[in-house]
Amino acid sequence: MIDTIRPHLAATDLAALKSELASSNPDQVAQLLPTLTPTEQALVYRVLPKSTALYVFELLDHDEQASLVEAMSMPDAVAVIEQLDADDRIHLIDELPARVAKRVVGALDGSTKLSVQSMLGYEPGTVGRILSPHYVSVRRAATVADAMVAVQSSGLRSEHLNTVFVIDEERRYQGLVRLADLVRADPAASVAVIAEAVDVVASATDDAAVAARALQRRDLDALPVLDREGRLIGAVTVDDAMDAIDQDTSATMYGKAGIADLGHSNDRIRSEKLTTGFLYPVRVRLSFLIVTLIGGLLVGGVIDAFEDTLAAVVALAIFIPLVMDMGGNVGTQSTTIFARGYALGHIDISQMRRHLFREQRVGLAMATVVGIVGGLAAYVWQGAPNDIPQLGLAVGISLFVSVNLACFLGFALPWLMIKIGLDHAPGADPFITTIKDFTGLFVYFGLAAWVLNIV
């Protein structure tokens, strides 16, 4: 396709370009656009048939949308942005340079501008950022027939029309009715009678992923968002809920792996940049590697401190990897179990003492097994042959301490980070690595020095 339109672009032959694009399919155009210069993109976009233009735009990633919008004239840009869903609009504006974003928001139509400004007022990752201010609602006195008329006369997209909210005279939320129930009900019946899910609601400041999981648990198509007085102010739709859950999971996984990027919270954009870019991945990954480098040197300091012990019994060095790897793996297990349990609601932050206690019991059991097996292996391999049977004891006890510590830190550190509001900040894993390596090796060499009576 690029071959057929390239000459028209070069000649700025808009008529030819237009007829070429008239029959193209949106997916193809969406794949083509990012390969063009911004100016060419704006040109191509402009001559697209009205019916496919918006659809093509929505197929682009938010950063691709942003660079296209930057190349457009302001009236064109505003026209496109006003047609978007409220949450997509926010994502796009988030991607624009501050200067451009300000001009675009200023040029928006009154009610859209108000909605954008209020959404931008909420923290990223909250319900306020993904709620749609557009939904269908009826008063509780309404009949099923009234609700059907409300749906029929709504200008919303079909995928956002599966739910009708029921409110009272003060706009206070009373429940929701699924479209299929309306279709199957007696038109003269009252909507209040068939309303359900009065208890599943969110507020704009709630965590988006938590709200999304509430929607998921009850198989809803839309989750009502209420203000403090219980009045309906918007809805989170199922598609946005799915995205919010993905986002949350991605943030956890990238955080755990030490891939920091505070600028981009959108997981699709981040994943794409990480798998296709060069400077971007180098930059975000290196920043964390430098932290790890400092940690590795700190841990080396422990070995440095015990250089005399090591010089006397060089075989001690052989078990450094074992003590480090074992604590490392246990720590990753614990942070992963914490992360999944927290996301799925099995870890309750207010009951942290109970969770910590349980995890520590598991840790104690594993540490006992690992300590005995590892200690025996060390004794048989290096202890007995070299006539230093105490080596087995030193390895066993250090493994025992490391595994216990890694379990504790694997639950306690992420919990602490959530407590101080650092949820999903660059993960706890690299810190745990340093702390448990430091402690594990300190115990190992300290014990070895003591039992070997060298110091």
- Binding to its own copies, residues 164-183 (CB under 8 A): 178-181, 183
Q: For residues 122-161, which are near its own copies according to CB under 8 A? A: 148, 151-152, 154, 158-159, 161
CB closer to its own copies, 76 vs 146: 146
Instruction: Work out whether 329 is an interface residue with its own copies (CB under 8 A).
Output: yes
Under rule CB under 8 A, residue 366 binds its own copies: yes
Residue from 54, 100, 120, 315 in contact with its own copies (CB under 8 A): 315
Residue 98 · residue 66 · CB < 8 Å: no
Residue 16 to residue 4: CA distance in whole angstroms: 10
Q: Which are the contacts of 268, defined by CB distance < 8 A and separation ≥ 6?
A: 61, 246
Distance of CA 11 to the CA centre of its chain: 44
Which phi and psi (to 5°) does residue 203 adopt? -115, 160
Considering only 56, 68, 138, 310, the residue that binds its own copies (CB under 8 A) is 310
Query: Going by DSSP bridges, is the β-strand pair 136-139/163-167 parallel, antiparallel, or unpaired?
Result: parallel
Q: Which stretch binds its own copies (CB under 8 A): 38-46, 73-81, 235-243, 412-420?
A: 235-243
Q: Nearest to residue 147, comparing CAs of 199, 173, 186?
A: 186
* Beta bridge partner(s), residue 236: 223
> CB of residue 396 vs its own copies: minimum separation in angstroms?
12
Element (H, E) at 166: strand 163-167
Question: How far apart are CB 110 and its own copies at their closest, in Å?
Answer: 27
Closest CA to 127 of 218, 196, 215: 215
Contact assessment for residue 402 and residue 452, using Cβ atoms and an 8 Å cutoff: no
Which among 188, 453, 430 has a CA at the least distance from the CA of 298?
430
Q: Which of 357, 341, 447, 337 is nearest to 402 (CA)?
A: 447
- Identified binder of its own copies from the candidate list 293, 349, 384, 455, rule CB under 8 A: 293
Find the binder of its own copies among 15, 98, 262, 314 (CB under 8 A).
314
Closest CB 130 distance from its own copies, rounded Å: 14
- Among the residue ranges 42-50, 97-105, 119-127, 241-249, the one whose residues contact its own copies (CB under 8 A): 241-249
Does the protein bind its own copies through residue 340 (CB under 8 A)? yes
Looking at the Cβ atoms of 11 and 380, the one nearer to its own copies is 380
**Given the rule CB under 8 A, which of 34-42, 67-75, 111-119, 336-344 is the region that contacts its own copies?**
336-344
23 is a contact residue toward its own copies (CB under 8 A): no
Indicate the residue among 276 and 453 with the shorter CB distance to its own copies.
276
- C-alpha–C-alpha distance, residues 90 and 100, integer Å: 14
437 binds its own copies (CB under 8 A): yes
Taking the C-alpha atoms of residue 413 and residue 253, their distance in angstroms, rounded to an integer, is 16
Decide if residue 447 touches its own copies (CB under 8 A). no
Q: How far is the CB of 351 from its own copies (least distance, A)?
A: 11
Task: Give the separation between CA 280 and CA 11, rounded to whole angstroms.
Answer: 35
Binding its own copies by CB under 8 A: which of 82, 168, 227, 239?
239
Smallest distance from its own copies to CB 99, Å = 30
Contact (Cβ atoms closer than 8 angstroms) between residue 107 and residue 212 = no
Name residues contacting its own copies, limited to 55-74 (CB under 8 A).
none
Q: Pick from 6, 102, 346, 419: which binds its own copies (CB under 8 A)?
A: 346
CB 42 within 8 A of CB 66: no
